[in-house]
Amino acid sequence: MSEADISGVTLAAMQARHAELAAHVMRTPVVRLTSDRLTKALDGAALWAKLECFQHTGTFKARGALSVVSALPKERRTAGITAASAGNHAIAAAWAARQFGLSAKVVMQNTANPLRIARARAEGAEVVMRDPGAPTFAEAERLVRDEGRSFVHPFEGIHTTLGTAGVGIEFLQDVPGLEAVVVAVGGGGLISGVAAAIKAMNPACKVYGVEPEGADSMSQSLRAGHPVTLEKTHTIADSLAPPMALPMGFALTSAHVDRVVTVTDDQICAGLVLLAEEARLAVEPAVGAVLAAALGPLRGQLAGGRIGFVVCGANIDAVNLCRFYERGMPHVVGLLGH
């Protein structure tokens, strides 16, 4: 696997793409978290949350997908696009295609969250369902070959990174002087853009990533010094469960992220409970992972600082969310450390 060329991920390129997409994506709000419990747990830290859960399609994914679709040459747009996804990217790719009047045919496994399947269809996509274990990427590649569609990758590529960089740009513009930002890591599409933007704008600001223990492909890749693929993943945070890191996401993470940590599913569920009780946010497990990391393995680095959290998405149904709350309740005290 060859090394990725990241020379095109410059501040000028990120700012230009952010400006190009501004008419379509939302500039999501940044809010100060005033919870005494969270502030006390982090020794008086000042906490801000970047609410990408209010982005179009319910996650940050809209930024990367729109960036990829906007960069397609006009002659390649007629045949439409395809994508393979556990859910959030399928929704975002369908939405991005609709912004340009393109057709979308997305591939999902039939075990995907029904809410996400319904939302992809609501965005106008034709959803191709596959049984568990069937290679969704292979089906998307077939659609590229047989129908001439353009593949919108869920997390890898310069256009994805330039799109997600908008999260970091907006965060630092809205909260000058942030000392650290915590970001969930799935395939690396979000953290690659956020970290590249933040380090270009304020090199002193730390960027920390977090993965589930059962889906730690980026952590293992960083230890190995090259992208690795896991034999299997196991976590409730399905949006953080791609089994591999890929060259560009790995290269940008290596270059710009200060540390990547892991948390357990029990900690993720406890994080979801605290987000509901202390921030009034009903969000998906990826965000629970961010808070769990801040209160767990990153506590020493974040205590007393000016800290930002990326609230990356909220596409989750009430039944599963309640199940995760129930699982997390016994672990809240341990997460808070008192």
- Residue 78 has what pLDDT? 96
- Residue 110 has what pLDDT? 86
Model pTM score: 0.97
The radius of gyration of the chain's CA atoms, rounded to the nearest angstrom, is: 19
Domain 11-60+157-336, second-level architecture: 3-Layer(aba) Sandwich (3.40)
CATH number of 61-151: 3.40.50.1100
Q: Pinpoint the residues of the chain covered by CATH 3.40.50.1100.
A: 11-60+157-336, 61-151
Instruction: Provide mean pLDDT across the span 216-244.
Output: 96
For the chain, where are the E strands, in sequence order? Answer: 30-33, 46-51, 81-84, 104-109, 126-130, 150-151, 180-184, 206-212, 259-263, 306-311
Burial 31-64 (b: 16+ CB within 10 A, else e): bebeeeebbebbeebbbbbbbbbebbbbbbbbbb
What whole-number percentage of the chain has pLDDT above 90? 93
- Lowest model confidence (mean pLDDT) among 69-73, 134-138, 139-143: 134-138
- Residue 113 has what pLDDT? 85
- 99-137 pLDDT per residue, tens: 999 999 999 988 888 899 999 999 999 999 998 777 889
- Residue 337 has what pLDDT? 85
Task: Answer yes or no: is pLDDT of 338 > 90.
Answer: no
Angle (CA) 272-276-280 rounded to 5° is 140
Give residue 1's pLDDT band: very low, low, confident or very high (50, 70, 90): low
Instruction: Round to whole Å and give the CA distance between 321 and 326.
Output: 9
Instruction: Provide mean pLDDT across the span 151-163.
Output: 97
- Residue 77 has what pLDDT? 96
- Residue 264 has what pLDDT? 98
- Residue 94 has what pLDDT? 97
- 159-215 pLDDT per residue, tens: 999 999 999 999 999 999 999 999 999 999 999 999 999 999 999 999 999 999 999
Q: Report DSSP state, residue 186.
A: S
Instruction: Provide mean pLDDT across the span 89-98.
Output: 97
- Residue 72 has what pLDDT? 97
- Residue 86 has what pLDDT? 79
Task: Answer yes or no: is pLDDT of 300 > 90.
Answer: yes
